[in-house]
Chains A and B, each alone.
Chain A
Amino acid sequence: KAGVTQTPRYLIKTRGQQVTLSCSPISGHRSVSWYQQTPGQGLQFLFEYFSETQRNKGNFPGRFSGRQFSNSRSEMNVSTLELGDSALYLCASSFSDSGNTIYFGEGSWLTVV
């Protein structure tokens, strides 16, 4: 069974641009969550989607948004990029909303210059 797949794996953007990251969960998993990982802050929760609905959101500005499609694939978007948005963005999927183990993708490394 394929794991969580994230694309692109690496990207470089300029301040002020916007970026869209994609995540395909493990087949059958309906919950997708996103995390930002930086050396200083560690792993921080961005948001979680289940059945195309955002159910939970972390403490990030409105520039960070996401969505989930009917096939459970998810995208996150960051608009008006800032240098501080440089990070590893991790997507994780889980079978349901019942606290099952969540599995992470390899992540998308974003560098903002």
Chain B
Amino acid sequence: EDKVVQSPLSLVVHEGDTVTLNCSYEVTNFRSLLWYKQEKKAPTFLFMLTSSGIEKKSGRLSSILDKKELFSILNITATQTGDSAVYLCAVSLFSGGSNYKLTFGKGTLLTVNP
């Protein structure tokens, strides 16, 4: 059974701290790994990773994938209260030819206190 596990499940930090969120996976037919941020609405896309060792960066957020060890990390530096959200990791799988579906982890709830 395909599995995506995120850790920690929740995290409380102070503004300015740096956080690292983890995502490990055990799946067949891996295609890509995606990170989403979810506040009290739809998940918004952050990164899609397909190749090992290549860091994706967007402002204070960055992410990297290790396809050998089957995990990814999401780093957030100089956290702000607006970073408070659930961060979701999802793995896209090949499923029947070129079809795909996403398998999600349970998410990490990040709370950034002022």
Chain A residues proximal to chain B, CB less than 8 Å: 4, 33, 35, 42-45, 48, 50, 55-56, 58, 90, 92, 97-99, 101-107
Determine if A55 and B96 form an interchain contact, defined as CB atoms under 8 angstroms apart: yes
Contact residue among A48, A90, A104, A105 (Cβ-Cβ distance under 8 Å from B101): A48
Determine if B104 and A44 form an interchain contact, defined as CB atoms under 8 angstroms apart: yes
How far is A12 from B75 in the complex, measured between Cα atoms in Å? 39
- Nearest A residue to B86 via CB reads A42
> Does chain A have a CB within 8 A of B77?
no
Chain B residues lying within 8 Å of A35, measured Cβ to Cβ, are 102, 104
Determine if B99 and A105 form an interchain contact, defined as CB atoms under 8 angstroms apart: no
**Quick one: given A48-B99, A97-B98, A97-B99, are A103 and B104 in contact (CB under 8 Å)?**
no
Tally of contact residues, B, Cβ under 8 A: 26
Determine if A101 and B45 form an interchain contact, defined as CB atoms under 8 angstroms apart: yes
Chain A residues lying within 8 Å of B101, measured Cβ to Cβ, are 33, 45, 48, 56, 58
Shortest beta-carbon contacts, A-B, top 8: A43-B104, A104-B42, A42-B106, A55-B99, A56-B101, A106-B42, A45-B101, A99-B31
Could you list 30 examples of A-B contacts with CB < 8 Å?
A33-B101, A35-B102, A42-B104, A42-B107, A43-B43, A43-B88, A43-B90, A43-B102, A45-B103, A45-B104, A48-B99, A50-B99, A55-B99, A56-B96, A56-B101, A58-B101, A97-B98, A97-B99, A97-B100, A98-B98, A99-B31, A99-B32, A99-B50, A99-B100, A101-B48, A102-B102, A104-B42, A104-B43, A105-B42, A107-B42
Which of B45, B92, B100 has the most CB atoms of chain A within a 10 A radius of its CB? B100
